[in-house]
Amino acid sequence: QVQLVQSGAELKKPGASVRVSCEASGYSFSDYFIHWVRQAPGQGLEWMGWLNPKSGATNFEQNFRGRVTLTRDTSVNTAYMELNTLRSDDTAVYYCASSYDYSDYGAFDVWGQGTQVTVSS
Amino acid sequence: DIQLTQSPSSVSASVGDRVTITCRASHGIGAWFAWYQHKPGTAPKLLVYATSSLQSGVPSRFSGSRSGTDFTLTISSLQPEDFATYYCQQASSWVAFGQGTKVEIK
C-alpha cells in the first residue's frame, strides 16, 4: 500500500542540526511532491516546505528559508529534511506528507507517522 | 500569502450534537481547500478535499461547504471517535493551516 515511513526520534543540543528521512513505498516516488509539516507542543500544524522528487526543486515557508534543506535520493525512494541551528522552539513532531490521490487539490492524503525531534541542552 | 482564521479554538459538545467549525480565508482560494482530523500520537487524517468532497472511507456525518471566503466543516451527529482537533488547510498560495479547533467532551 501507499505509505511514507519516517526515521526515529532525535535528541539534539541547541545549535546542532537534525536530518529526518521519509521513505516512500507503494507508488512512484518521483511523481508526487513531498511536503514537510511540524507540530510543536501545544501548537497547531505548521507547513515548512515542499520538495519535487523528480527535479529536486524546493520551496519553503518564509520562516524556514535559509535554515531548512530538503533533498532526496531517488535510488532509495527517500526524502530528507535537514534543519540547522536548532533552537528549543524547534522541538516538535515533524511529518512528511504527500498528495497522492489529490495532487490537483493540494490535499495531503498520505502522511508519515511523525518523528519527534527534541532540542535540549 | 493567504491567511486562514479558524474558529472556534475549542468547542465542548456531547455525543449526538451538531458541530460546526469555520475557517475564513484572507483572499479567494478556489477549490484548494481541505479539512483534517488530528488525534494525539497519530498523523493528521484527511477528511475533506476540494472544499466539499469527502475522502474515501470518511463517514457521511462529516461535510464541507463554502460561502465566499468562509469555509465550514460540519459534523452532523458527533460520535465518541470524533473527539479530536480539526484543521483547515489551503494550497492555493503556498500552503497554510488554520489554528485548529479542539472538539472536547462536554
Q: Each residue of A39-77: pLDDT tens digit? A: 999 999 999 999 999 999 999 999 999 999 999 999 999
Please tell me if residue A103 touches chain B, with a CB cutoff of 8 Å. Answer: no
Q: Considering only CB atoms, which chain A residues are within 8 Å of B43?
A: 95, 97, 111-114
Q: Chain A to chain B, count of Cβ pairs less than 8 Å apart?
A: 69
Give CA–CA dist B82/A15, Å, rounded: 40
Measured distance CA(A61)–CA(A72) in Å, rounded: 19
Check if A112 contacts B (Cβ < 8 Å).
yes
Mean pLDDT, residues A9-31 taken together: 97
d(CA A64, CA A58) in angstroms, rounded, equals 12
d(CA A110, CA A108): 6
**What are the start-end ranges of the H helices in chain A?**
none
Rounded to the nearest integer, the mean pLDDT of chain A is 96
A-chain CB neighbours of B30 within 8 Å are none
**Residue A87 pLDDT:** 97
Predicted confidence band at B88 (pLDDT cuts at 50, 70, 90)?
very high
pLDDT at A105: 86
